[in-house]
Structure 1
Amino acid sequence: MSGGTGPGGGAGSGAMSGGAGRRRLVLHVDLNNTVVVADAVSGQGPRAALNTFLSTVTWGRVGAAGEWQWASDRPSLRPPCPGVLSYYSHHGRDPAFTETGPGRCFRDLHAHHLQLLEWPGKPHDVLSVPGEENRHYHLILPSFFHLLETLHREGRAFAVVFRTFGTDLPRALRAVSCALAGQHPRFPALRDLALPVDLTLGRIRCSKREVVLTRGAERLGTQEGGRKLYDYFSSFEGIGGFQDHFDWWAKNQFSSRGGKPLWIDPHDPDLHHIFIDDNIRLDDADTIVHPQVFSERGSRNPRRTPTSELYNICLVQTNLLEAIADEDYFLRCVRKCEENYERYLACREQDAPSQQWDGQ
């Protein structure tokens, strides 16, 4: 079965009805520091991008004399104890984090993961990117391609929607297209997916009045509610991408209110939307996705939903270190979300309070 088969699309429709692991998946996937360890906007290559990520997942506090004191020598997505700050929240994101200052204690960890990112053999014009000392690195993490390959092998129906604030979308789509043409040395079987890649760049723009999506001749808005955009993404086929509205996020103080919009309908038996992004956080004042849930069957107007209600259910905070080191990482994240989504739906059916599933 093709991974791009949509709802009611022949072979895919029979296997996706209800049950854990059988719903059609729509995977909304961030690029920078989620599946791409680079950032064209800031000019960061893999070394700097990995440093930047490490500065967001290491924790400490400011001492009495103003010095930085580490609370843990291990990176983690969440604070290891109460009363600590991530390094970036106090000092800002640091592309030289492990090279100067207190971040030097994480230098070996950075070097290890940078080595894991190295491209094997002869560089590819699209799939690899150059770095320092004539080294080349994966543009897109192997764990992402492994996810696609495994979902296809399991006969799953799915689509992938890249959602980024940056400008890396064109080259990411080209790279995926090359991989699906069988050009990736580690994943030659990807040519069997028959999964279309649409290189047309989409845009999502937000305002107080509405959210507007455009891609080519397509244009949809939310003046009458979010249902049309939910239906649009639910019927999405293949792989494509959209640039979300960074300025709106900044105008809303980088909170969920200004984040990348995501619509969830728990009454839809055939679909499971999952958003994967390294900047998803449990603190709604400092997170990147704006989740909205249709509380009533068939309703047009969803309610704003806290990240905690959907964390590891429809929202995945990327652990970039694990995504680099473990080829099964994204596959495990998706499966964890599917298991937790079943529990989430069961709680709703029983009119019980929603539970927060952290998957730990």
Structure 2
Amino acid sequence: MDNVSCVTNGGGEEDDQAGDHCIMPCLPVLLPKKRKLILHLDLNNTILVSDAATGQGPRAALNSYLSTVTWGRISDTGEWQWVSDHPSVKPPCEGAVNYYTQYGRDGNFSDSKLGQRFQGVFNDHMRLLEWRGKADQMFTQQGEDGEEYNWILPSFFHMLESLYLQGRQFCIILRTFGVDLPHVLQSIHAALQGKHPHFPQLQQVPLTTDLTPGRIRCSKREIVLTCGSNRISTRTKEKNIYHYFSSMDGIGGFQDHFDWWARNNFTSSGGKPLWVDPTDCEIQHIIIDDNIRLGEQDTIVNCRVLLDKKKGKESRKALVSELYDICLVQTDLLRAIAEKDYFLDCISLCEENYEQYLRSFQVE
């Protein structure tokens, strides 16, 4: 749906007398057409607060996440000191390290001696996760306390509905190292059939869901994407998978290559591959993942900027800092739980920043 505004004559009757304003008919003015969005979304701690692979329910998953966004430092006496009482995805000051870096992820973080100061934040967001009404096997999960909680975050479903109502052309590609993907795709498919009790209006959203997950496997020689009978490789041309992703519609998903990430010491070099083409005026790729971090160590996306092949190289590796909040978004899970517009806000910010990025971009 194109964005159209209208120039009107402001009303009033036509007058032929000299000096009177000339009345023009209503003329459509085409505003710039927005790019198609290819949204790559992580599952665990992005649209889910749980992890089937590790057996974490919502309490353990939320505690584990909090341990990655709370900040302190080791004092001269060797003791941990908090530098902020407010969780944040980025360090609040120079020299701050997150609790996770020092002590590892902690599924009981808010109950621990050091983490108990964040117990209020934890309890508030667990309340926001609570399911309203009768449990539903497709959309609820039972917590460690026996209570029922949202499995897929409501802000995700709100994003689907809102993008459709805005007339946006978009595709959702779920990207995970885990094992939740088939179940998540089934649940999203059910929601789009009008079966979600809190989002029955999603039945009006004409998105198709590919229920068969694909997979992405990486090596030094190539990256290979397989989905059904399709096999796409970067060996002959690096843009191949970029073009495949860009042509997708509806909702699909891929299991990424965790072992490759581990073999590359959990650095960006072995992370989930993502390509950005600054010369493509029709498409913007955005990936949202809680394990995106500003440093190249312990971050999860291998972002490649595609180049003019005449320069001799097909792509260059982009630092996270180059495309942070442009094409790479570090999930703020607390906001995703608390704010229905969270994902929409992320998209809007990325689109605005992408325009600035393209204006300053120079082909190398």
Task: Report the equivalent of 1:98.
Answer: 110
SS class of match (2:297): coil
Offset, 1:183: 1.4
What's the TM-score, normalizing by structure 1? 0.90
Offset, 1:297: 7.3
* Residue 258 to residue 352, structure 1, CA distance change in 2 (3 Å): closer
Task: Report the equivalent of 2:44.
Answer: 32
Q: Map 1:1-40 to 2 at 5 A.
A: 19=32, 22-40=34-52
Q: Map 1:270-349 to 2 at 5 A.
A: 270-296=282-308, 301-348=314-361
Distance in 1 (CA, whole Å) between partners of 2:336 and 2:309 is: 36
Distance in 2 (CA, whole Å) between partners of 1:122 and 1:319 is: 28
AA aligned to 2:183 is R
Distance in 2 (CA, whole Å) between partners of 1:175 and 1:298 is: 45
Task: Report the equivalent of 1:45.
Answer: 57
Distance in 2 (CA, whole Å) between partners of 1:159 and 1:238 is: 5
Offset, 1:298: 8.8
List per-residue Cα deviations over 1:277-318 (Å, max 9, x = no partner).
Answer: 011111012210011011227988211111111111111110
SS class of match (2:44): coil
Give me the identity figure in percent: 54
| Aligned with residue 140 of structure 2, among 128, 141, 160 | 128
AA aligned to 2:305 is V
Distance in 2 (CA, whole Å) between partners of 1:134 and 1:103 is: 23
SS class of match (2:45): coil
| Aligned with residue 175 of structure 1, among 176, 182, 187 | 187
Which structure: larger Rg?
2
Distance in 2 (CA, whole Å) between partners of 1:129 and 1:296 is: 48
Structure 1 stretches of 5 or more lacking a match?
Answer: 2-16, 354-360
**Aligned residues of 2:58 and 2:144 also touching (Cα < 8 A):** no
Offset, 1:134: 3.1
Task: Report the equivalent of 1:159.
Answer: 171
| Aligned with residue 213 of structure 1, among 207, 210, 225 | 225
Distance in 1 (CA, whole Å) between partners of 2:183 and 2:201 is: 21
What's the TM-score, normalizing by structure 2? 0.89
**Aligned residues of 1:54 and 1:97 also touching (Cα < 8 A):** yes
**Aligned residues of 1:205 and 1:212 also touching (Cα < 8 A):** yes
Structure 2 stretches of 5 or more lacking a match?
Answer: 2-29
**Aligned residues of 1:163 and 1:241 also touching (Cα < 8 A):** yes
AA aligned to 2:360 is C
**Aligned residues of 2:308 and 2:363 also touching (Cα < 8 A):** no
For the aligned residue pairs, the C-alpha RMSD in angstroms reads 1.8
Task: Report the equivalent of 1:9.
Answer: none
Task: Report the equivalent of 1:56.
Answer: 68
Distance in 2 (CA, whole Å) between partners of 1:111 and 1:297 is: 53
Distance in 2 (CA, whole Å) between partners of 1:87 and 1:229 is: 37
* Residue 141 to residue 36, structure 1, CA distance change in 2 (3 Å): same
Count of equivalent residues: 335
SS class of match (1:273): strand
AA aligned to 1:313 is I
Offset, 1:216: 1.3
Offset, 1:118: 0.7
AA aligned to 1:309 is E
Distance in 2 (CA, whole Å) between partners of 1:134 and 1:46 is: 11
**Aligned residues of 1:18 and 1:270 also touching (Cα < 8 A):** no
Distance in 1 (CA, whole Å) between partners of 2:157 and 2:130 is: 16
Task: Report the equivalent of 2:99.
Answer: 87
Distance in 2 (CA, whole Å) between partners of 1:217 and 1:195 is: 22
Structure 2 residue 121 is the aligned partner of structure 1 residue 109 = yes
Distance in 2 (CA, whole Å) between partners of 1:192 and 1:50 is: 32
Distance in 2 (CA, whole Å) between partners of 1:95 and 1:63 is: 25
